[in-house]
Structure 1
Amino acid sequence: MLYLILLRYRAPLAELDRYLAAHREFLHRHYAAGHFLLSGRQEPRVGGAILARGLSREEVGGWLVEDPFHKEGLADYEVIAWAPGLRAAEVPAAWAPDAEVVERVVEN
């Protein structure tokens, strides 16, 4: 199952930036484990988003308590279970194996 994780910052950016390196280490650990597929900040910089792959919402929630932003009370998290029904052909099948592939049509 895929999960959209939305972070909403609760603290000023200057305080968040003090923990940014540790937050990135947390992200890297979960990329290396195969849990995270995409991540980045929102624009404007009011929060972030992570696309994750996991077995359950509880499993994903367990990962998030390790995030320094969570430990320091700097962000709120919303975890949305997501079952894509369609995917573009260039999106890896492993990300959404049950989704129907929609081929791009190039018009001349």
Structure 2
Amino acid sequence: MFVLELTYTVPVDAVDVALDAHIRWLDEQYAAGVFLASGRKNPRDGGVILAVGDDRARIETVVAADPYVTAGFCAYRITEFAMTKTVPELAAYREPQRP
């Protein structure tokens, strides 16, 4: 499991120019089963995405295709974690606990 935190590197009004393309990219990742949840940070200086993938390299490839990245509008921080406890609706994404 991965937490993707994006931080805008330009003013928000500049980011909004690529918003439609960014939303299409998000929709593609949801359809592919990569993204589970996403949204804006408050204050609006970026966003957060919850993603699943086999390895970090695959997630880095996905992130590199974000129109915000290709336009130079944001930077991503990728955090991998083992999701061992969840609400029942996310049980399929749990990882076994290790000692």
Is TM > 0.5 for Structure 1 vs Structure 2?
Answer: yes
**Which residue of the partner structure matches residue 93 of structure 2?**
95
Unaligned runs of 5+ in 2: none
Aligned-pair distance for 1:97?
Answer: 4.7
**Which residue of the partner structure matches residue 21 of structure 2?**
22
Residue identity in the other structure for 1:32: A
CA RMSD of aligned residues (A): 1.2
The 5 A counterparts of 1:33-48 are 33-48=32-47
Q: Which has a greater percent of helix? A: 2
**Which residue of the partner structure matches residue 105 of structure 1?**
none
Aligned-pair distance for 1:65?
Answer: 1.0
Q: Which has a greater percent of strand? A: 1
Q: Is the 8 A contact 2:84 2:95 kept in 1?
A: no
SS at match of 2:27: helix
TM-score scaled to structure 2, two decimals? Answer: 0.92
Q: In the comparison of the two structures, how many residue pairs are matched? A: 97
Tell me which structure has the larger Cα radius of gyration: 1
Equivalent-residue separation in structure 1 for 2:70 and 2:8 (angstroms): 13
Unaligned runs of 5+ in 1: 100-108
